[in-house]
Structure 1
């Protein structure tokens, strides 16, 4: 099976939010020889370490896979860009830095679906384990973890007006959406420290890189999983124009995300037999759920012009941007420390609901889309998404070419229940804008505009003015039904020595931003993997 230079105990594919955690935890025992493989490069670009750097790293082929969805009927046949990190740290190196765990009920629901050991009481210790919380430890937070979590270093008056308007509308103030209850309005926290982004590469991989039993390969594209009969024995990688095998004596672990993991499984003969047969890929294991059950958070972005100055005014000239840069250089504060949003609201689209089903991301600036320049007027953005969409999409390869992007079909708003919720969410966004003290600073609704009024018109606006929040999940779902891909220990059904550990295993998307849950999944998976192999020795 090759010489010792290409033989490891564990081979982890993908150095992203999950992969860097796995590399750290599995290599802590010097008896384990671990290899972490990343298709992208090292995280040397300075913009990867400045919080607002996602404006430079998203849609940049040097750091981003630059995926594009298929034309989607649910959003007027538009195609959306789906950035995914292609660099050490993966999407944690170019995401919006927001630290949100989801709701306790999410994880209790995972367990109710047959996933023993994934209830909230089971996963909370892993959230705490990974966390180094700036505010200190309590029943819900830890301070001894590797992942820095801190308060924002930027506050603007328009954000305070937004918070107070929500409170006046009856939404409770909640300074900690990751504490006892998620519901309410308050400032986000972010995965940053003293003005610098803390990707999982910085937080988990960097402290472990000196270990002699951990190797990291960058610029190395995994083309397929290698099998002997139905046992995964390694992977094939393409690097510097040549392809060669790397072997794993214990496990191959896929941490390539909700797009990359199902793609690699399908390329390797694990997936829907009909799809594999149509592409002349030998079927190792017929698993119809591979690539199915795709879920994402779709946001409708409302933009309101204001009389109150916003970040638009601070960023709309070369001189002002230079001052912003100087502030960051001298103090590590100001707009360059901006997370994707400042204010979160978790609330209900209808009063009869038991728990929040929509989330707001409020930004004290506005642009046509992330990465574009800000508008030449004072304005803020009030984005709202449905937390637990009913619509389901899919990821499917189109050829045997491992470098060809798969077909991404989100099927946004294909379920009528989602359509009703998003209409109610837009109505609530407008009610907040029309509530004091925020209403006193509103000059008008710029997007989508007041010409959209009826429910039918608001649904039309949602179809036209919506964007992804970059939270694809669930394409290799954990479960016990016929569409499940992995069992509750994240082992792929029907084969041996192969696991998936990333956001793709979520049976249902978490109620919020997905980076923190993905880190938790990797923390829990690391313990399960080490447990399983400790038992195997006995």
Structure 2
């Protein structure tokens, strides 16, 4: 039976199981990687598995299921409501960074875009000392996830839990990007999720029959298994370590803390913001930072919380349409362009999104009167060089975090975004766009380098892709080895976007699910 033909009972709909005091495996976080791991460790094994999730079920939440409503997840009860720290580089603005507090994690609230990035991303991970992470090695894991609309190919898989396919019936706004890109000189791609995509074409979306294909598709066939316990509305507040080995976790459920032991391993899949927090709460991190918080150091790992990366977007290239926008479709975009800010780059570092709705920062929106019939072209940087950090402000498990991505702190990033704006205006001047534009609303004049930089600093926001805070690698700031084992502690692994040593040159959800498949295989094969 194919994965996509399995039992379709909604996770969270079954009878709740009582919490035991010991399991073979504890998976912390039911997000894009955690759902994968829980499934793989449960099916075809004798293991008992506990999956701990701070949020609740995704069943029955329309904004999660409906691709066109995904933006309604931002600020919803199933969003952690995290935000980045202000920075002078972006005029001291606070930027939200939504994270999914629900089964499926951020894979249940994101923009439903299925992209792996470029094969060079993974070859770069391997070249940095991470054996087994090169493109050819991880390709079978990506294929295992997928149920590609065209059936199995050398690049795509079929029969996997996650349905993927090209966006259909493109709205005239994303269709204009495809045609404008073509006349600008971009190749038109039949598959924008190919091994080395450069050009323009329809997005690949994880949608089946008009409904989000969420990471919870992994849970559905095993949710009612006697060997899997899914504990919702609960969080791990501390890992317990004895004689250099992780022996379990303290779990807050309701108003009670339960100490649960583990026979084999704990796998942290709490995401790039909460995985480092759990490590630090447990005494695993930079000893100097832990000392400031009155936390005893168990293992000195200075890389915990460092190496934060994200994709910056520029919100605000906004135009009034010359005909009614109508009802947006797909994921409010539908097509994408991938291009280079400089011709000598090996991999495209820019992404362009054609949004069928207004997309502005609060600061820019206050300056302009924006009519209803508006669309946007959104440039983004998918090859950022800037690096940030995450710190805890207190030693409370629910205390505030200091999350600073240091957007455009690397001069190369600002230069790339300046180029991104220039290229965006060239695209807008193509006949396909001119045919649907009545007038430009935002920004005003971009007649100088200073004006463009001001627009970037006022319009810069996040693509909601924080990664890298527990990076894989052999260096001094490495947190996990190439099998995602935490250095210095037995029985503890990390499997989420925090292990990425460098961010992929596209949306990060697919790569995060692949990381879940990687660690599952590593555990099950004993490697």
TM-score range, shorter chain: over 0.9
Q: Pick one of 364, 378, 382 that aligns with 2:356.
A: 364
CA RMSD of aligned residues (A): 1.8
1:226 aligns to 2:237 (yes or no)? no
Task: Give the number of equivalent residue pairs.
Answer: 504
Superposed, 1:286-301 pairs within 5 Å as 286-301=300-315
Partner of 1:96: 111
1:146 aligns to 2:161 (yes or no)? yes
Which stretch of structure 1 is more off in the superposition, 155-164 or 413-422? 155-164
**Offset, 1:407:** 0.9
Partner of 1:339: 331
Match of 2:315, SS state, is: strand
TM-score using structure 2 length = 0.92
Structure 1 residues 300 and 113: CA distance shift in structure 2, 3 A: same
Q: Pick one of 67, 73, 93 that aligns with 1:57.
A: 73
Which stretch of structure 1 is more off in the superposition, 264-273 or 28-37? 28-37
1:381 aligns to 2:346 (yes or no)? no
Q: Pick one of 18, 21, 35 that aligns with 2:33.
A: 18
Q: Pick one of 477, 488, 497 that aligns with 1:483.
A: 477
Match of 1:36, SS state, is: strand
Match of 1:344, SS state, is: strand
Which stretch of structure 1 is more off in the superposition, 110-119 or 436-445? 436-445
Structure 1 residues 341 and 467: CA distance shift in structure 2, 3 A: same
Which stretch of structure 1 is more off in the superposition, 87-96 or 153-162? 153-162
**In 2, distance between residues paired with 1:79 and 1:217?**
33
Q: Is the 8 A contact 2:382 2:506 kept in 1?
A: yes
Q: Is the 8 A contact 1:310 1:380 kept in 2?
A: no
Structure 1 residues 352 and 238: CA distance shift in structure 2, 3 A: same
Partner of 2:345: 353
1:215 aligns to 2:229 (yes or no)? yes
Q: Is the 8 A contact 1:360 1:384 kept in 2?
A: yes
Q: Pick one of 21, 40, 44 that aligns with 1:29.
A: 44
Q: Is the 8 A contact 2:332 2:357 kept in 1?
A: no
**Offset, 1:369:** 5.7
Deviation sequence 1:259-305 (CA, Å, 0-9, x none): 01011111110000000011110101010100000000000124332
Runs of at least 5 residues in structure 2 that lack an aligned partner in the other structure: 1-17
**In 2, distance between residues paired with 1:434 and 1:298?**
24
Match of 2:413, SS state, is: helix
Match of 2:265, SS state, is: strand
Partner of 1:46: 62
Q: Is the 8 A contact 1:478 1:506 kept in 2?
A: yes
Runs of 4+ in 1 over 6 A off after TM superposition: none
Partner of 1:238: 252
**Offset, 1:386:** 1.3
Structure 1 residues 83 and 27: CA distance shift in structure 2, 3 A: same
1:470 aligns to 2:461 (yes or no)? no
1:394 aligns to 2:389 (yes or no)? yes
Q: Is the 8 A contact 1:151 1:188 kept in 2?
A: yes
**In 2, distance between residues paired with 1:345 and 1:73?**
30
**In 1, distance between residues paired with 2:160 and 2:361?**
34
Deviation sequence 1:129-154 (CA, Å, 0-9, x none): 10001122211001121111123244
TM-score using structure 1 length = 0.91
Structure 1 residues 11 and 307: CA distance shift in structure 2, 3 A: closer
Match of 2:25, SS state, is: strand
1:529 aligns to 2:520 (yes or no)? no
Superposed, 1:110-509 pairs within 5 Å as 110-201=125-216, 203-309=217-323, 311=325, 313-314=326-327, 335=328, 338-368=330-360, 376-449=371-444, 451-509=445-503
**Offset, 1:338:** 2.8
Deviation sequence 1:386-425 (CA, Å, 0-9, x none): 1121111111111110011311011101111111001000
**In 2, distance between residues paired with 1:403 and 1:17?**
22
Partner of 2:504: 510
